[in-house]
Amino acid sequence: MPSADIAPDDREWHVSVNVCTYNRHQLLRQLLESLLEQRLDDAIRYEVIVVDNNSTDETRQVVDEFIGRGHNHLRYIFEQRQGLSYARNTAVEAARAPIVAFTDDDVRVAPTWVQTIKRTLDHHPEVDCVGGKIVPCWPAPPPVWLTERHWGPLAIVDFGDRPFYVSIHNQLCLLTANMAIRKDVLERIGRFRPQLQRVQNQVGSMEDHELLLRLWRGQGQGMYVPELVVDADITIDRLAKTYHRRWHFGHGSFYAMGRLEHMERSQLGTFIGVPAHLYKRAVLDAVQWLGNVVCGNWDRAFDHEIALRFFAGFLRRRCTDVLTAPTADKGVAE
């Protein structure tokens, strides 16, 4: 169970900012510097909750250092259950404000980040959540092949400079590195699902997307707010195709676990638990991959290769599910 050092406080809070971290105390320090020095024109009161997800480094000392500087709106919670969804759900439970904001330990938020969240949700009562830009800080010039089509594995978000709604009719994904949601909405649709979270050494995920799908299915909507900005460090390993191959394979596995309605729907049924339309798509990708390789179109070939890796991850997960599922005979025997 999570443990917390929480001082009694009967003040009204407007925004609870939640940061989940694991063995990244140096990056966490940079984030806290940006979070605790926000420019607030209005009487906005916000708290920052750091959930230490079983770290063994100096995470606790870093948080204590900031609290020692007089940041009494900063709180520390220890969550021993390993996994980002566990940590996020612990943060939501501890949040004392009606708006719950999420960011990551490897980003830095803009000076008006908290104020933008509060003002947008106040001015748009029809909106359940808001999200914005995640701007990359490159460790080196990105390779030519790494275009906008490959931003998914890097968690980069930039949909332009005009705000718009995201909903069941416009399913663009907002990411929890830069997102805020009303707490009562989370209580209504449910929190993050631990069965979809990454485990150690895995890449690829769908926790954010699955949460938004539940929101949209309940007729909720979010808003993309271009003024809501965070800067994200891109590590050098993510500039290599090897990382992107691993990410898409893992992403396919998570989609197989998620059993999303639009993925499962198939007029031709399934084989080994995989909808027939995914096999058809994989055959087309294989043909196009080969054609582009023969013609020397390596960038286009890579696009089809990662689509095939997504399918391979999906197929492997479903094969594992079939092989480990209890048989009817076992069920009767039990």
DSSP, res 141: P
Question: Based on the domain organization, do 101 and 200 belong to the same domain?
Answer: yes
Identify the bridge partners of residue 135 per DSSP, sorted by sequence position: 231
Least confident of 236-250, 253-267, 269-283, 307-321: 253-267
DSSP letters, 176-198, are TTEEEEEHHHHHHH----GGGS-
**Percentage of residues in the chain having pLDDT higher than 70:** 91
Confidence of residue 77 (pLDDT cuts 50, 70, 90): very high
Q: How far, in Å, CA of 291 to CA of 204, rounded?
A: 28
Query: Can you list the alpha helix ranges (DSSP code H) found in the chain?
Result: 25-35, 59-68, 84-94, 113-123, 183-189, 207-217, 241-258, 261-264, 276-295, 298-324, 328-333
Q: Report residue 225: phi and psi, to 5°.
A: -120, 105
Residue from 222, 225, 228 nearest 165 by CA: 222
pLDDT surpassing 70 at residue 241? yes
Burial 213-223 (b: 16+ CB within 10 A, else e): bebbeeebbbb
What is the per-residue pLDDT for 20? 94
Q: Which of 239, 271, 306 is the last residue of a domain?
A: 239
What is the per-residue pLDDT for 193? 82
**Percentage of residues in the chain having pLDDT higher than 90:** 75
Tens digits of residue pLDDT in 85-96: 899 999 999 999
The CA-atom distances, in angstroms, between 86 and each of 134, 154, 187, 197, 252 are: 23, 22, 15, 9, 22
Q: How far, in Å, CA of 84 to CA of 267, rounded?
A: 36
213-225: average pLDDT: 93
Confidence of residue 4 (pLDDT cuts 50, 70, 90): very low
DSSP, res 173: P
The tally of domains found in the chain comes to: 2
Which distant-in-sequence residues (6+ apart) come within 8 Å of 195 by Cβ? 257
Q: Which of 217, 239, 261 is the last residue of a domain?
A: 239
Question: Based on the domain organization, do 208 and 151 belong to the same domain?
Answer: yes
What is the per-residue pLDDT for 330? 38
Question: Based on the domain organization, do 67 and 194 belong to the same domain?
Answer: yes
User: SS3 letters for 241-269?
Assistant: HHHHHHHHHHHHHHHHHHCCHHHHCCCCC
Q: Which of 239, 256, 288 is the last residue of a domain?
A: 239
Which distant-in-sequence residues (6+ apart) come within 8 Å of 279 by Cβ? 271
Which domain covers residue 228, as residue numbers? 3-239
pLDDT surpassing 80 at residue 119? yes
Task: Kindly state the tokens that stand for 325.
Answer: 């599922």
Residue 150: is it exposed, middle or buried by C-beta count within 10 angstroms (0-12/13-18/19+)?
buried
- Maximum separation of any 2 CA atoms in the chain, in Å: 68
Which one has a higher pLDDT value, 204 or 244? Answer: 244
Tens digits of residue pLDDT in 157-177: 999 999 999 999 998 989 999
Q: How far, in Å, CA of 146 to CA of 1, rounded?
A: 42
Question: Based on the domain organization, do 201 and 274 belong to the same domain?
Answer: no
310-320: average pLDDT: 94
Question: Based on the domain organization, do 271 and 219 belong to the same domain?
Answer: no
